[in-house]
Amino acid sequence: MAAKPVIAAGLDAGSARTRCVICALENSRLRCLGAGEVPSSGWIKSRVADPGAMSECVRAAVREAEACARVSVEAVVAGLGGTAIQGLNRRGLYEFGRSRNVEPADMAYAVERACRLQLGEDRCLLQVFPQDFIVDGRAEIRNPRGSMCSRLEANVHVVTTSAYDHQCLVNAVHQASLAVEETVLEAMAAAYASILPEERLRGVALIDVGAHSTGVVVYDGEAVMLASGLPVSGDHFTRDVAWRYKVSYEDAVTIKEQYGCAIRGLSGDNAFIDIPQPDGRPSREAPRLELIETLEARAEELFLYVRREIARAGMEQSLLEGAVLTGGGALMTGMCDMAERVLNCPARNGLVTGIRDWPKELNTAAWTAAAGLAMYSARLKQQEGKQKTKTPGLLSLVFR
């Protein structure tokens, strides 16, 4: 009798769309069973304004995914992003007193000491990413287990977020009659789904362009060098279009999706576009070049923010694998071209890899984070039989 497959589910509760992906873990391989998507409500920009409305969206997305997958879900890994995300590097010191072999518990304790930071009233620890260890002064040791030393130091990247937003997300999932296995940085989940281990090893930046925030994660040699949330997002592009043409937000979305481009010279700059008018008045025409110039300026601003973050991590000359763009905001034509121009490195859209039977209609950068959250859930379930630690970021030691 075949073993019952393990169900893994990821929930991407974004401010524009709420998405759920359900997978089955079969013989250490993931297979997509179903997915659900609904428009989000209860958000103002990147902050939760109505937790009840957010909970209804979570319930609707999960029900749609369950109907497609023909299975029920009891728990999910939930993603969290937004401008409240902050990352900083920390170092933890553990002195043994005498020279001896390093054990996993010693590594965990050094990481735990690095996480002992005083947080503000509205801040909470989201994730911890161990970078490397220093063994008796010898730096950049990824896994010092078994090494002989008397002094062990851990370099980690600590990611914090708004305690209110985090609790709102957890409460919304609970109100939808689901348990929360883990809360995970959305940009990291997107990287997990779209970037191979060897690419992380050579240096890469993941840029998750959402509706109301942009998440950035920078990898170097498997270590997370930086994680942060940026204030420029897909919503800014839409509002620029609405202001330029004096149209409603919904019409601006349509114009952006049908005719938008983030850089001049790629397609139809000399064409004209139809601008809808209110009150039954006939639509008017406008040069498409005006639209492209408006979107180009905002795209350049976005990637200048990203470039400053990459420079802050000291990686401006080390992204051999370039930039990977995910999120709904990455779908606009020319975004990768603008990223290459500003960041001076190759750029591509991040698509889901590593999940069998992934639907073709979902093979876009908008679904990458949700897929990565389901992959994270599967990895957590694989670790259930192993010894657990109090430091969730230690999982990144085994996320290859």
Encode pLDDT of 184-238 as tens digits. Answer: 999 999 999 999 988 998 999 999 999 888 999 999 987 899 999 998 999 999 9
List of E strands, 276-320: 284-287
User: Nearest to residue 177, comparing CAs of 18, 56, 13, 6?
Assistant: 56
Q: Is 330 exposed, middle or buried (0-12, 13-18, 19+ CB in 10 A)?
A: buried
Average pLDDT over residues 2-31: 89
Rounded-to-integer distance, Cα 107 and Cα 135, Å: 11
What whole-number percentage of the chain has pLDDT above 90?
A: 72
Q: What is the mean pLDDT of the chain?
A: 90
Ramachandran angles phi, psi of 311, nearest 5°: -65, -35
Count Cβ atoms below 10 Å from residue 52 Cβ, excluding itself.
11
Burial class for 233, CB neighbours closer than 10 Å (0-12, 13-18, 19+)? buried
Contacts of residue 321, defined as CB under 8 A and 6 or more positions apart, other chains included, come to: 195, 199, 200, 202, 203, 204, 346
* CA distance linking residue 91 with residue 153, whole number of Å: 7
Cβ neighbours around 122 below 10 Å, total:
12
- Per-residue pLDDT band for 386 (boundaries 50, 70, 90) equals low
Q: What domains can you pick out in the chain, each with its CATH number?
A: 86-158 (3.30.1490.110), 196-349 (3.30.420.40)
DSSP category for residue 291: H
Over residues 38-67, the pLDDT tens digits come to: 999 888 777 787 888 999 999 999 999 999
Chain centroid to CA 396 = 15
Distance of CA 131 to the CA centre of its chain: 19
Q: Is the pLDDT of residue 94 over 70?
A: yes
End-to-end CA distance of the chain: 31
Decide if pLDDT at 392 tops 50.
no
Work out the pLDDT band at 3, boundaries 50, 70, 90: low
Q: What is the pTM of this model?
A: 0.91
Q: Give the per-residue pLDDT at 270.
A: 81
> To which H or E segment does residue 351 belong?
none
pLDDT at 1 over 70: no
Alpha carbons 59 and 380: distance in angstroms, whole number: 23
pLDDT tens-place string over residues 273-330: 889 887 777 778 899 999 999 999 999 999 999 999 999 999 989 899 999 999 999 9
pLDDT at 394: 42
